Amino acid sequence: MTANAEPIFTAPASEDGPPAERELPRLPSGWRVVAGKELADHLASVRLYVLFLVLGAAALIPMYFAAERIRAAADAASGTPSLFLYLFWLSPQGFTLLSVYQFVAMAAPLVGLGFAFDAINGERHDGTLPRLLSQPIHRDDVINGKFVAGLAAISLVLMAVIGVISAFGFIRLGIIPAPNEIIRLIVWFLFTIVYVALWLAFGLLLSVVIRRAATSALVGFGVWLFVAIPIFGPLVISIIGGFIAPGTSSDQAALDAAGTQQFLLRLLPSTLYQEGSIVILSPQVSTVTTPATIGQYDQLQQQIPGLASLDQSLLLVWPHIVTLIALTAICFAAAYIRFMRQEVRA
């Protein structure tokens, strides 16, 4: 370039002043590029629709069989409080474990693991991870973008499932939601997103730590069986609780044993999610803690039933929300640190 040539990034001189610098178009952030590409792949993959069918069946089947109880409640009293929310927490007659939120508690972890168990090791196995990291983006943009894309895809699936259940209530049962019911449903949707984000972050951690996608899927499936299925994990915890605090003939000892069992069960994320869901979806629930003394138990039995406001319900489940967010942050931080320190060879 000669001395008289104009600079590449300057505009021609104007009459009013010196030449103005040209503004180059700003490129989008690296994690947004990765998230957009991953989300497009998720929306075009068969995995999304298979997981949508799994989660949809898990939500629609119990709600379908509980429709008779919901219709009976609607016919018995037109002023039944929060009748629309019955679609999401009322179980069929004789099956206390077959409600929508309980099935979501079991099926939603599969959705989170399904989107993340091969997020990193799949790229490594296909040989595309070195080429991806050779692009002009930061290394952490890869894991951040994959997490955001997976969470966005899962949010779309959950939104569609909730929309189908709501449409069923509109069309078949003729239930119109009140404004406070819609707000509670939105809060439950956000709470479910937090719960699924925990499993998404855990699946991402498995995909970073374990080299083979099949192995990470088996490990995630095993943890899901123990934590999310109300058979294995609660059974083991009940046995442990029986050794720690065996129940005796006295009422106080029975309350102590029940409190110990409840504390141990709350070590499982599924327990936190189910307790939080029933409080958010049912204003009739005013407590989630076992009474510590006989006096507190008698007071609870004599309490006049009432409806809790949304603020009161959130105060009850605030520890559950904070715990799930903290567990999600721990899993994602562990995956983030491990991925940033890993060696990627071309």
- What pLDDT is attached to residue 1? 43
> How would you label 5-22 residue by residue, b for 16+ Cβ within 10 Å and e otherwise?
eeeeeeeeeeeeeeeeee
Assess whether pLDDT exceeds 90 at residue 202: yes
Q: Residue 7 — φ and ψ, nearest 5°?
A: -60, 150
Domain limits, the chain: 30-229+266-341
Q: What is the mean pLDDT of residues 60-80?
A: 63
> pLDDT band at residue 323, thresholds of 50, 70 and 90?
very high
> pLDDT band at residue 328, thresholds of 50, 70 and 90?
very high
- What pLDDT is attached to residue 89? 78
> pLDDT band at residue 253, thresholds of 50, 70 and 90?
low
Residue the block writes with tokens 């089947």: 61
Q: Could you report the per-residue pLDDT of 1-43, keeping only the tens digit for each?
A: 444 444 444 445 545 555 545 554 454 577 888 888 888 888 8
- What pLDDT is attached to residue 304? 56
- What pLDDT is attached to residue 301? 52
Q: Which residues contact 142 (CB under 8 A, 6 or more apart)?
A: 34, 120, 129, 132, 133, 339
- What pLDDT is attached to residue 191? 95
Residue 21: helix, strand or coil by DSSP?
Answer: strand
Q: Could you report the per-residue pLDDT of 278-314, keeping only the tens digit for each?
A: 899 888 887 776 554 555 445 555 555 567 788 888 9
**Alpha carbons within 13 A on the beta-carbon side of 131:** 5
> pLDDT band at residue 168, thresholds of 50, 70 and 90?
confident
